[in-house]
Structure 1
Amino acid sequence: MSSALLKKYTFVFIGLFFCFEVVITIRNFSVQLGDLQVYFNLSKRIIVDHLLPYRDFPSEYPPLAVIPTLIPQLLCQIGTTGFQGFVVFFVLQNILLGLYMGRVVLKTAQAFLEEVRALEISRIYWMLWGISLPIFLFRYDGFVALLTILTVYFIVKQSPGVSGSWLAAGIFAKLYPIVLLPPIIVYYFINKQYRFLLLFLGGFSALSAVIFTVMYLLAGNDVVIFLKYHRLRGIQIESFVGGGLLLWYKIIDAPLETISNYGAIHLVTSWTDSLLKVLSWGFPICYLALSGVIYRYFSKQIGVSVEMLLIAFAAALLLFLVCNKVLSPQYLIWLLPIIPFLRSQILYCFAAAFMITIFIYPGSYHRLVEMKFLWVLLLNVRNGLIFVMLLLTLFSMPFSTKNSTLI
């Protein structure tokens, strides 16, 4: 099959899938309302009731997570449109975020790649963004993904202080970008850009200190209460481990209990406590091992390029997804601005994983909760694709000495 014909079939398939997305988004819109109601209530307490999270009421979200909910709430109050208006404004805001993120992806690619390749990356982003819309439009994770690619953009533009500030903002919005910090430090260190490293750490530390100080003055010791919520969560039904447990219990035909809390469905088994302990120390150990692999990978190169840094980013994020006790559908959005820069095999796996995710949620999530075998199998195929992506990312790290275009 020729390349042109393959592209034609790909576009036709994506178009048909987009039509499917429109149908299931409208038909199953009610499944989105839970998180949107949480966003609405959180922002209403701040804007309308003049209350502060942590000090006046507990919140499971990091400090900057409220930012994407405030503008829709303000517009909602101006127009007195209530929850329905909030949903409309939130969706419109996420559309603008996605469009702007696409522009940043293109500008980042143009800064260190040839124009043809940069335009190809841009097209890939728009394709993946279209696939992600049934989830992207209704969650605030796109905001954090934008902060992540801005971190990369300002690394490319050799503005390390600004880059560090964007990374700090991302961490205080969702926490997960913290796994990107060690690869960036190693990137600057191996490239012997010690002044840039100090500027990056300075920007990162300065904004972190400002945010934490302001929140501490406003909320006191309760400012870190959001960390408690994550520690209390169990094994989510959609996580890598959760999917494996679901499949095992279906194979042996044994009953499996679930509990709904913290906005998700968690599994209750005799193995839960033991597995949670394994995951609690398993990820740090795996991440330390990955950091060693990244350091060795970078140190073998004659100049570490931004492309290599993006490979390290993807590996860190994918490891986090595989080893985490929680793997909500919106977590795939974290990879959205990174995947277009990677090899085609990873791209195909990511697109397939996102499509399966949407088929499950918002497609027929109740069938997964009911533990229907087909949906349990689909979940494990999705999780298997994420694991394959991690392996492909690791295999993308050539350990032989290689010249690279240093940015």
Structure 2
Amino acid sequence: MPTSCPSVGSSTVPRLGPWHWLVFVVGVVPALAYAFSPRIGDLELYFRSARSLLAGATPNQDFRFEYPPYALLWFVPAAWLRDTTDGFVRVFGLQLVVLDAFIKWALLHEGARLWGRAGRSMVPCIAYSVTTWVASVYYLKRYDLIPAALTLAALLAVARRRDLLAGLALAVGVVTKLYPVVLVPLLVVICWRRGTLGRLSLGLALGVAPLLALSTVWPWWGFASFHVNRGLQVESLPASLVWAAHHLGWAQGVIWLKAPAAYELHGTVAENAKALMRWLWVLGTLTATALGAWAARHRPAEHVGELARLALVPLLAFIILNPVLSPQFLTWVMALAALSLLSGSPTVPLLILAAGMMSRGTFIGQGYRVGAGGVQTLLILTRNGVLLAAGFLLLREVWRARVPRAREAGVEPVPGARALSALPVARGS
């Protein structure tokens, strides 16, 4: 690993070589093929909601809409251009492929900034492409790729010191899927240290400003009540433990059933686990968010690979502790995991990408509809264990971020300790 990285804000634009473009094409073409496939999944719900809006209906008043308001606006162009589900699938699929191509191009571009045309510069894109091929059943048939691309754009903008753009991208991502809100404190701390918090705040304000106008005609906040009442989703960490206990005969009265938005576990044991996990989820996510911001406060992370690793801290906590954990949630972190291969140990990002591929097994066979069998339950447990391990390893990195600060103060750190921030850092020009 080199001892320095290209300067933040540098005008030098890396030139991609022929092998980069080959990797790009090979990465995107399979996605294009699957996005146009007739598999519908949640796309029918998106189509119906957008067509209802275009017909003059009001979301959460005339029909239920379970997502934040900007999500519906992303569905409208395809529904306006095509008035059938099949037509919508193709046009909306093209939207997703464009975003998929943006992410893969960004991974190649960042790799080339650090490594030039060396083979290792293509590793993040190759790792991400393989993961998306395996995970295509949820990666390209849900809209989670949209906020994931916006989150990546926000981090890239911060790394380039385009803080207004970063705030705008992050705000739009939050009002599209909500989860990027856990990254706001991280970006606030980074921009506060730079003295550019005003620009970030302006971007955030511009991103959420349309909500004021929407509020006059659309009770968009109604989506929250739907999620508050959701049960224990079968893929979540607590659900996998409860279902495994059910298989072993340790938990009685556990029921696997189809709910309005997902498959859930019900019964006394499942309800108790859900109540406990909700508190752990809130407290764990807040703690991880604070730790990520603390790490940025004590050692500025400017290189985009480091930013990605810090962003993964609250995001992984939000996902793995969540009593509602759909397979597509892994889409939120796959690009950041691939990007973090540019900075530090590859263990954590590879674990996350492996979990993304294992999530594909959730949909195999009839078990997902009637109750996972032993092998499928073991797969879900393994996937959740891998995510949990990745989260603990990241927390350890954040804790060790104090070591360089101790060195600067003339204090000898614990022998053998390594910090996240001891990794190559791109210095501002």
Same fold (TM over 0.5): yes
Q: In the alignment, is the contact (CA less than 8 A) between 2:107 and 2:339 conserved in 1?
A: no
2: CA distance between counterparts of 1:158 and 1:92?
A: 30
Displacement of 1:257: 1.0
Displacement of 1:107: 3.7
Which residue pairs with 2:237 in the alignment?
Answer: 240
Q: Kindly indicate whether residue 75 of structure 2 is the aligned counterpart of residue 57 of structure 1.
A: no
Question: Which has a greater percent of helix?
Answer: 1
Displacement of 1:339: 0.6
Q: What does the per-residue CA deviation read over 1:243-289, in whole Å, with 9 as the maximum and x for residues that have no partner?
A: 11101111126442133223201111213343333233322322332
Structure 2 counterparts to residues 119-130 of structure 1, below 5 A: 119-130=122-133
Which residue pairs with 2:213 in the alignment?
Answer: 214
Q: What does the per-residue CA deviation read over 1:232-252, in whole Å, with 9 as the maximum and x for residues that have no partner?
A: 101101111111110111112
Cα distance, 1:369–1:381 mapped onto 2, change above 3 Å: farther
Deviates more, 1:326-335 or 1:306-315: 306-315
Displacement of 1:358: 0.9
Which residue pairs with 2:388 in the alignment?
Answer: 387
Q: What does the per-residue CA deviation read over 1:319-348, in whole Å, with 9 as the maximum and x for residues that have no partner?
A: 011111111111111112101122321233
Letter in 2 for 1:68: W
Q: What does the per-residue CA deviation read over 1:174-200, in whole Å, with 9 as the maximum and x for residues that have no partner?
A: 0011111111122233xx212x12210
Cα distance, 1:187–1:37 mapped onto 2, change above 3 Å: same
Deviates more, 1:52-61 or 1:307-316: 52-61
Structure 2 counterparts to residues 7-406 of structure 1, below 5 A: 33-47=40-54, 49-77=55-83, 82-109=84-111, 113-115=114-116, 116=118, 118-189=121-192, 192-194=193-195, 196-208=196-208, 210-219=209-218, 222-252=219-249, 254-301=252-299, 305-342=303-340, 343-361=345-363, 363-364=364-365, 366-367=367-368, 369-397=370-398, 398-399=400-401, 400-401=403-404, 404-406=425-427
Letter in 1 for 2:165: V
Unmatched segments (≥5 aa) in structure 2? 1-25, 405-420
Displacement of 1:171: 0.6
SS of the equivalent of 1:200 reads helix
Letter in 2 for 1:158: R
2: CA distance between counterparts of 1:303 and 1:387?
A: 24
Letter in 1 for 2:102: Y
Cα distance, 1:291–1:37 mapped onto 2, change above 3 Å: closer
Q: In the alignment, is the contact (CA less than 8 A) between 1:108 and 1:152 conserved in 2?
A: no
Q: What does the per-residue CA deviation read over 1:344-394, in whole Å, with 9 as the maximum and x for residues that have no partner?
A: 212332232222211222x22535742311111111011111111112222
2: CA distance between counterparts of 1:123 and 1:338?
A: 14
Letter in 2 for 1:217: T
1: CA distance between counterparts of 2:248 and 2:320?
A: 22
Cα distance, 1:61–1:292 mapped onto 2, change above 3 Å: closer
Displacement of 1:303: 6.0
Q: What does the per-residue CA deviation read over 1:20-71, in whole Å, with 9 as the maximum and x for residues that have no partner?
A: xx99x98xx7xx5441221111111123x23232343331111111133223
2: CA distance between counterparts of 1:67 and 1:365?
A: 34
Deviates more, 1:284-293 or 1:174-183: 284-293
Displacement of 1:128: 2.6
Q: In the alignment, is the contact (CA less than 8 A) between 2:131 and 2:354 conserved in 1?
A: no
Q: How many residues align?
A: 371
Cα distance, 1:368–1:312 mapped onto 2, change above 3 Å: farther
SS of the equivalent of 2:42 reads helix
Letter in 1 for 2:426: T
Deviates more, 1:230-239 or 1:305-314: 305-314
Which residue pairs with 1:11 in the alignment?
Answer: none
Letter in 1 for 2:189: V
2: CA distance between counterparts of 1:264 and 1:100?
A: 30
Q: What does the per-residue CA deviation read over 1:202-258, in whole Å, with 9 as the maximum and x for residues that have no partner?
A: 2102321x2220111112xx2200000110101101111111110111112644213
2: CA distance between counterparts of 1:309 and 1:252?
A: 45
Cα distance, 1:295–1:51 mapped onto 2, change above 3 Å: closer
Cα distance, 1:263–1:302 mapped onto 2, change above 3 Å: closer
Q: In the alignment, is the contact (CA less than 8 A) between 1:94 and 1:136 conserved in 2?
A: no
The RMSD of aligned alpha carbons is: 2.7
Cα distance, 1:310–1:348 mapped onto 2, change above 3 Å: closer
2: CA distance between counterparts of 1:212 and 1:334?
A: 23
Tell me the TM-score normalized by structure 1.
Answer: 0.83
Cα distance, 1:50–1:185 mapped onto 2, change above 3 Å: same
Which residue pairs with 2:19 in the alignment?
Answer: none
Cα distance, 1:105–1:211 mapped onto 2, change above 3 Å: farther
Q: In the alignment, is the contact (CA less than 8 A) between 1:55 and 1:223 conserved in 2?
A: no
1: CA distance between counterparts of 2:126 and 2:372?
A: 37
1: CA distance between counterparts of 2:162 and 2:297?
A: 23
2: CA distance between counterparts of 1:34 and 1:125?
A: 23
Unmatched segments (≥5 aa) in structure 1? 1-14
Q: In the alignment, is the contact (CA less than 8 A) between 1:131 and 1:351 conserved in 2?
A: no
Cα distance, 1:345–1:59 mapped onto 2, change above 3 Å: same
1: CA distance between counterparts of 2:122 and 2:50?
A: 38
